Chains A and B, each alone.
Chain A
Amino acid sequence: MVVPDSGFITFNKRNIAHNWQYRSAIGYMPQIGRYPENMTIAQVLDMMKDIRKQNAVQLDEELIHLFKLDGMLHKRMGTLSGGTRQKVSASLAFLFNPDVLILDEPTAGLDPLSTEILKEKIRKEKQQGKLIMITSHFLSDLDDIITEVIYMEEGKLKFHKSLDQLQLDTGEKTLSRAIARVMQTSVI
């Protein structure tokens, strides 16, 4: 909702200011998924399909089935728990087979089984050569799915390096310990 005061973002080498078509290549999963209360899951899915009608793209409904959302399509969004809403958000992000996926705290509020399903899905999409950006506080969830780490503090970039390089620099095996080491010493 916020338009930047300064600076710009490029997507596929093009400045995105005053451009909106580029968003059809992005799937976004918000941190807090809140939908109009009286809409059913089916209506939310239909609306998104209506908005992003692209004939060429094959819909990817795998997550909807894996999360067992097809059994509760008639339920209103207002009656769902946080975890179920999170599942709807995740399914929506993956639904249109986008080239770039931006997941904002994807595992927050999800139960362990669904977290594993989502991680498996992320791994699968990654193997298909998609760019996936994940922001997360649960570093232990990320260990086996990421290749690069971008660490930001108070809006400033601290470092951006590959996971292997980070492990080498800090001498720690797991991501959460490596980051903890970085924060302790704060020299890198």
Chain B
Amino acid sequence: MKKIIKYVLLDLLRNRIIIAYTIFLAVISLSVFNLEDNPSKGILSLLNLVLIIVPLVSIVFSTIYVYNAAEFIELLVSQPLRRVNIWLSIFTGLASSVCMAFLVGCGIPVLIYAPGDTGLTMTAMGVLLTMVFVALPCWHRY
């Protein structure tokens, strides 16, 4: 199982959309914090944006990825592997790469500009949202 996760991650970390998503999030968070004097206000604006963008990108990206990987998953199913393990590793690979993009793009600016409980809560919320919305297409196909 670890092996499939490793190769799914290797594939995804070089994915253009993941890289673009990271840069997009970083630009948004940096500009939001630099436009406001008060970091609390900044984090509120960021929260509003994250609440919309994160679920949208997570669900669309993972749906497209899972559908494009249909033939590859078929090949994995023909190998001596358990079905549950195949899907769990695809989910883990997808979720960790999208979470990583979120943490780099949003988590780091938040930690720099608004460290503390609120910032941490927002980062954790973003990660959980990502996992839930990546899980949806995986679960649907499984």
Contacts and interface: CB of A to CB of B under 8 A. Distances in A.
Interface string A13-52: 0000000111110101010111111110001000110111
A24 B78 CA distance: 9
B71 A32 contact: yes
B82 to A, nearest CB: 5
Nearest to A28: B78
Given A36-B7, A38-B14, A23 B74 contact: no
Contacts of B11: 36-39
A36 B78 contact: no
| Interface range for A | 20 to 34
Contact of A34 (B8, B72, B81, B83): B72
Contacts of B8: 36
27 contacts: A1-B70, A1-B73, A1-B74, A20-B82, A22-B80, A23-B80, A24-B80, A26-B78, A28-B75, A28-B78, A30-B75, A33-B71, A33-B75, A34-B68, A34-B69, A34-B71, A35-B71, A35-B72, A35-B75, A36-B8, A36-B11, A36-B72, A38-B12, A43-B7, A48-B79, A51-B79, A102-B78
Contact of A30 (B12, B68, B69, B74): B74
Interface residues of B, number: 25
A144 B35 CA distance: 75
A30 B3 contact: no
Contacts of A26: 78
Give the interface centre of A21, A22, A34 by most chain B CB atoms within 10 Å. A34
Given A47-B3, A47-B4, A51-B76, 15 more contacts: A1-B73, A1-B77, A23-B78, A26-B78, A30-B75, A34-B70, A36-B8, A36-B69, A38-B11, A38-B12, A39-B7, A43-B10, A48-B79, A51-B80, A89-B75
A38 B78 contact: no
B31 interface: no
Contacts of A89: 75
A11 B15 CA distance: 40
Contacts of A43: 7, 10
A84 B68 CA distance: 19
Contacts of B79: 23, 48, 51-52
A105 to B, nearest CB: 13
Residue from the set A30, A36, A37, A39 with the largest chain B CB neighbour count within 10 Å? A36
A20 B83 CA distance: 9
A35 B14 CA distance: 14
Nearest to A37: B11
Nearest to B82: A20
B18 to A, nearest CB: 10
A178 B51 CA distance: 65
A2 to B, nearest CB: 9
Among B68, B72, B83, max chain A CB count under 10 A is at: B72
A11 to B, nearest CB: 12
